[in-house]
Amino acid sequence: GYVADPESEESKHTLIVPAGQEGNYDSLDDFVGKKIMGQANSLQEMYVTDEILSLDKDGTTQFEKVATLDQAILGLASGKCDAVALDNSTAENYVASSEGAFALSGVFFDLTPYGDYSGNIALAKKGETDMIKAVNACLETAVENGYVHTWYLNAKAAAGIQEAE
């Protein structure tokens, strides 16, 4: 399927931390030994497992999977965790609306090992190569003409999500 640009802000995934703690994190290694929350069965669960828990040779890092992202945010607000893993756009919005309680860590997951999972994807039934080629051609044209970015911004506006300042 088609993969969005993994370097775009919309494709990045990160962690947010309590305000004032962001200076403690320069790399994913700095999250080893911390308690992290993230939504179960999400890309962030995969990223935390693959890129933080795998670094922890002593087993001191805790990852709590929660049913909803709001539960993780409440966990961060109440001090039950040190960080929450989420996509960058959502992270920016939670930080902007936290009244100074949360901060962006400035650390991003490395999406390059995930290939097709590094950005947004469109799926088709296995073997439908002609359809996949047609969808990819349409999406490629939409990206080249700036439509995808416009659609993304319009969807955020329709959802009431404001750009972080």
**Is residue 136 domain-shared with residue 68, that is, in the same domain?**
no
Domain assignment present for 59: yes
- For the segment 56-94, what is each residue's pLDDT rounded down to a tens digit? 999 999 999 999 999 999 999 999 999 999 999 899 999
Number of domains within the chain: 2
Q: Where are the beta strands (DSSP E) in the chain?
A: 13-18, 35-39, 62-66, 83-87, 102-108
Per DSSP bridges, beta strands 35-39 and 102-108 are: unpaired
Same domain, 72 and 40: yes
Q: What is the value of pTM for the model shown?
A: 0.70
| Domain presence at residue 141 | yes
pLDDT at 9 exceeding the cut of 80: no
Q: Which is more confidently placed, 63 or 42?
A: 63
Whether 31 is covered by a domain: the verdict is yes
- Looking at the structure, tell me whether residues 98 and 25 fall in a common domain: yes
Answer whether residue 62 is part of any domain. Answer: yes
- pLDDT score, position 146: 87
Is residue 4 included in any domain, yes or no?
Answer: no
CATH number of the domain that residue 39 is part of: 3.40.190.10
Over the stretch 89-148, which tens digit does the pLDDT of each residue have? Answer: 899 999 999 999 999 999 999 887 766 444 556 667 778 888 888 888 888 898 889 888
Helix (H, G, I), strand (E, B) or coil at 59: coil
Co-location of 45 and 99 in the same domain: yes
Residues of the domain holding 143: 129-158
Q: Give me the pLDDT at residue 25, please.
A: 98
| pLDDT at position 57 | 94
